[in-house]
Structure 1
Amino acid sequence: MALQEVILVDELDNEIGREEKLKAHLDGVLHRAFSVFILNDKGELLLQQRASGKYHSPGLWTNTCCSHPSPGEELQASAQKRLQEEMGFTCPLIWLFKFKYKIAFDNNLTEHELDHVFVGRYNQDPTPNPEEVESWAWVNLDSLKTDLEENPEKYTYWFRYVYDTFYNTYCLQEN
């Protein structure tokens, strides 16, 4: 299996190089990522519970899918491809915003990402890849906001970090 590379970026999201994914997370260098949020017509967000075999944040709940674009791959196309790989479907995606975060994990890995957020609509149940996804659920946005506040340990760091921005940027404008 070929090693996956990530795109190293500066603070303005300009590509400055490439690095093997695990090494980038060991060194904590800033790299490009994306997060996908899928809503249905009931206003529910599709969450996934990360598989227990993931190298960080196993078993935690998070947005519909997330990953890193491959060097030379268009960002939105990469997000749609990963949505298919993780959740078993694809749909049109709209770019919303980007944010930067950094978190060190207990296993000596550091997520330092400039993360592009995409949103899409889908009204069927997913057929997730069990190597990536332990479980999934459609969740009411307001109930989720409350649960994130009351039980933050159930969710990934980046999801807790970005949820309010996502909610205020997209969800409130839609209603």
Structure 2
Amino acid sequence: MAAIEVILVDRYDRPTGRMEKLEVHEKGLLHRAVTVYVFNSRRELLLQQRANGKYHCGGLWSNTTCGHPFPQESTQHAAERRLLEEMGLRLTLHPVFELSYNLPMGNGLIEHEYGHVYFAFSDELPKPDPQEAEGWRYASLGDIQQEVQAHPERFTPWFLYTFTRIPAEFKQFTTQRLAG
């Protein structure tokens, strides 16, 4: 299997180079990432349970999908590609916000990412790749918030970070999109 390279960036998301994905996570270098949240018409979020075989955070619940753009790939295309690869969904994605985080994964790996966050809306049921996701479920934001507070160890660190830092515009954007 060929090594997968990711895009190294500065704090303004300007590319500074490229490096193999595992090495980037071992060194904790800032790199570009994508995060996707898919909502259904009941305003529930599609959560993914990561496959146990993943090199970090296996078995934990997370956002619908996430990943890294390849060098020379747009974040929009990367988000669409990962959604299709992981969850078998081909949807129209909407860029919503960007954020940066530096989070230890507990196994010597670090997620130091400049993340581009996208949302999609669909009632289509996912067909996950078992190498990527071993489970999925829809849940309301309120139910997720309660579960996150009661059992944060069940979720990926980046999901805990992005979910708790969703700006007020997120809820407004979601409500407007689902109403329209």
Q: TM-score normalised to the size of structure 2?
A: 0.93
**Matched pairs, number:** 175
Q: Distance in 1 between matches of 2:67 and 2:61?
A: 15
Residues of 1 paired with 2:33 and 2:18: CA distance?
13
Name the counterpart of 2:153: 153
Secondary structure at the counterpart of residue 112 of structure 2: strand
Gaps of 5+ in 1: none
RMSD: 1.2
Give the deviation of 1:110 after TM superposition.
1.0
Secondary structure in structure 1 of the residue aligned to 2:136 = strand
What letter corresponds to residue 112 of structure 1 in structure 2?
A: H
* Aligned partners of 2:100 and 2:114 also within 8 Å: yes
Offset of 1:164 from its aligned partner? 2.8
Q: Does 1:66 align with 2:66?
A: yes
d(CA) in 2 for partners of 1:45, 1:167: 16
Alpha-carbon separation, structure 1, partners of 2:87 and 2:169: 24
Gaps of 5+ in 2: 176-180
Q: Residue in 2 aligned with 1:15?
A: 15
Please identify, of 155-164 and 28-37, the stretch whose mean Cα deviation from structure 2 is larger: 155-164
Whole-Å separation in 1 of the counterparts to 2:75 and 2:106: 29
Question: Counterparts of 2:172 and 2:141 in 1: how far apart (Å)?
Answer: 10
Q: The residue matched to 1:166 in structure 2 has which SS?
A: coil
The aligned counterpart of 2:50 is 50
Q: Is the 8 A contact 2:8 2:19 kept in 1?
A: yes
Letter in 1 for 2:42: K
Find the counterpart in structure 2 of residue 116 from structure 1: 116
CA distance in 2, matches of 1:139, 1:105: 25
Q: How far apart, in 1, do the equivalents of 2:73 and 2:123 lie? A: 28
TM-score w.r.t. the length of structure 1 is 0.96
Residue equivalent to 1:31: 31
Contact 2:36/2:65 (8 A) holds in 1? yes
Q: Which runs of 4+ in 1 moved over 6 A?
A: none
| 1:125 Cα deviation from its structure 2 partner | 1.0
Structure 1 residues 37-46 or 165-174, which shifts more?
165-174
Q: What per-residue deviation string (whole Å, max 9, x for no partner) do you get for residues 54-82 of structure 1? A: 11111100000000000001110111011
Q: Deviations over 1:63-110 (max 9, x none)?
A: 000000000011101110110000001100011111111122332111
Offset at residue 7 of structure 1 (A): 0.1
* SS of aligned partner of 2:165: helix
Q: Distance in 1 between matches of 2:142 and 2:149?
A: 11
In the alignment, the residues of structure 2 paired with residue 16 and residue 92 of structure 1 have an alpha-carbon distance, to the nearest angstrom, of 29
Q: Distance in 2 between matches of 1:96 and 1:165?
A: 13
**Alpha-carbon spacing, 1:169–1:158, altered in 2? closer, same or farther (3 Å):** farther
